[in-house]
């Protein structure tokens, strides 16, 4: 069975987060995207930055990771966007079946 993952990235605008989510959903690379406002503090070019961002969390199968990463890198406004993958340790069978069904075309 495919391994399931969440992929997380952040953007500085809700419009960019929505655009990435809509495009990646239309490509059937993910089954679900969640967008949440967050406050971020991080090192960038030798100083600490603090900013409001939008976190985009995408649920998918591990085999789609590279294609999603490439899409984000080609379409993201940040010079170095956060793109991380977190494996699922478990999940309800119904939810995982749905996730697999919605990403099945790309997971083969």
User: Starting from the edge strand earliest in sequence, which strands make up the sheet with 32-44, in order?
Assistant: 32-44, 47-61, 4-11, 84-87
State which fold the 4-107 domain adopts. Answer: Alpha-Beta Plaits (3.30.70)
So what's the pLDDT on residue 107? 43
Where are the chain's structural domains?
4-107
CA distance 61 to 30: 8
CA distance 85 to 65: 8
- Is the pTM above the cut of 0.85? yes
Q: Helix (H, G, I), strand (E, B), or coil: what is residue 31?
A: coil
Digit-by-digit pLDDT tens for the chain (108 residues) are 469 999 999 999 999 999 999 999 999 999 999 999 999 999 999 999 999 999 999 999 999 999 999 999 999 999 999 999 999 989 999 999 999 999 865 544
So what's the pLDDT on residue 78? 95
């Amino acid at each position: 069975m495919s391994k399931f993952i969440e992929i997380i990235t952040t953007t500085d605008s809700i419009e960019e987060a929505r655009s990435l989510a809509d495009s990646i959903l239309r490509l059937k690379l993910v089954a679900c995207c969640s967008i949440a406002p967050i406050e971020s503090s991080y090192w960038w070019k030798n100083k600490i930055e603090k900013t409001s961002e939008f976190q985009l969390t995408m649920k998918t199968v591990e085999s789609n990771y590279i294609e999603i990463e490439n899409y984000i890198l080609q379409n993201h406004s940040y010079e170095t966007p956060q793109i991380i993958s977190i494996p699922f340790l478990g999940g309800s069978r119904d939810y995982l079946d749905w996730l697999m069904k919605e990403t099945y075309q790309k997971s083969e």
